[in-house]
Amino acid sequence: MLSPALVSPFAMLLNPESVIQAMEHSERLAHLHSRVYRPLDKPLIPKGLAVDLAEFDHLVDEAVEILEALDEDAAEGDSPLIC
């Protein structure tokens, strides 16, 4: 049976030594299997495949300029380029 000091969460806050002692002597906790997971040790995306940010920004800017030019041509009545 647990002592009254270990039953109440508020009593545990006031007496952490008794909580630590109960954890160290607990058979149920001793039988638990533990594993250490380190999901952040290896990057998910290799660095070799990373695109240079300046190059990516340049490609996006070019695509926006092309779309704006197509919109202007469509507004003027010119037929858009169809492939």
User: Which residues have C-beta within 8 Å of that of residue 25, sequence separation ≥ 6?
Assistant: none
User: Which residues have C-beta within 8 Å of that of residue 11, sequence separation ≥ 6?
Assistant: 4, 5
Report the SS3 class of residue 76. helix
pLDDT-derived band at 81 (thresholds 50, 70, 90) equals: low
| Higher-scoring residue by pLDDT: 72, 17 | 17
Which secondary structure element, helix H or strand E, spans residue 24, and what is its range?
A: helix 16-24
pLDDT-derived band at 61 (thresholds 50, 70, 90) equals: very high
Q: How does pLDDT run across 2-60, given as a tens digit for each residue?
A: 666 567 888 888 888 988 898 899 999 888 888 877 777 666 665 655 567 778 888 88
Segment 71-78 mean pLDDT: 74
B/e letters for 6-16, b = 16+ CB within 10 Å, e = fewer, are: beeeeeeeeee
Question: What confidence score (pLDDT) does residue 41 get?
Answer: 66
Question: Domain limits of the chain?
Answer: 4-76
